[in-house]
Amino acid sequence: GAGVSQSPSNKVTEKGKDVELRCDPISGHTALYWYRQSLGQGLEFLIYFQGNSAPDKSGLPSDRFSAERTGGSVSTLTIQRTQQEDSAVYLCASSAKRPGQGINEQFFGPGTRLTVL
């Protein structure tokens, strides 16, 4: 079956513009996560979705960042008024939720490399 897909693979934008990053999780995976990978901060958790709701948004760095998920599938991460410090690789991961199995492994997409000029 298909893995996690993300689009675009690369995005170059100008400071102050809004960007949207898309994630298509593995079919049937109800849990979806966004992470950010940057040279200075390493890999950081941003937000967690269970179905269409986001019970943990604690990693979003500012109110310029938002995310939604529709139909329990595709998720979009939006960054408004981008800043140069937003430049990073944004990774999406999905995970199955099987009762009694604790925390399952997350499968990652290829990421979106965002460059803010």
Partner 1 sequence: AQKVTQAQTEISVVEKEDVTLDCVYETRDTTYYLFWYKQPPSGELVFLIRRNSFDEQNEISGRYSWNFQKSTSSFNFTITASQVVDSAVYFCALSDTANAGGTSYGKLTFGQGTILTVHP
- Per-residue b or e along 9-40, where b marks 16 or more CB atoms closer than 10 Å to that residue's CB: eebebeeeeebebebbbbeebbbbbbbbeeee
Closest distance of CB 112 from partner 1, Å: 11
Choose between 14 and 39: whose C-beta lies nearer to partner 1. 39
Choose between 83 and 104: whose C-beta lies nearer to partner 1. 104
Closest distance of CB 66 from partner 1, Å: 18
Give residues in contact with partner 1 (CB under 8 A). 31, 33, 35, 42-45, 48, 50, 53, 55-56, 59, 89, 91, 93, 95, 97, 102-111
Choose between 29 and 73: whose C-beta lies nearer to partner 1. 29
User: Which are the contacts of 81, defined by CB distance < 8 A and separation ≥ 6?
Assistant: 16, 17, 18, 64
Closest distance of CB 117 from partner 1, Å: 21
Going through 39-111 in order, the beta strands assigned E by DSSP cover: 42-50, 53-56, 65-69, 75-79, 88-95, 107-108
Query: Nearest-CA neighbor of 77 among 33, 26, 28?
Result: 33
Choose between 80 and 108: whose C-beta lies nearer to partner 1. 108
Closest distance of CB 81 from partner 1, Å: 27
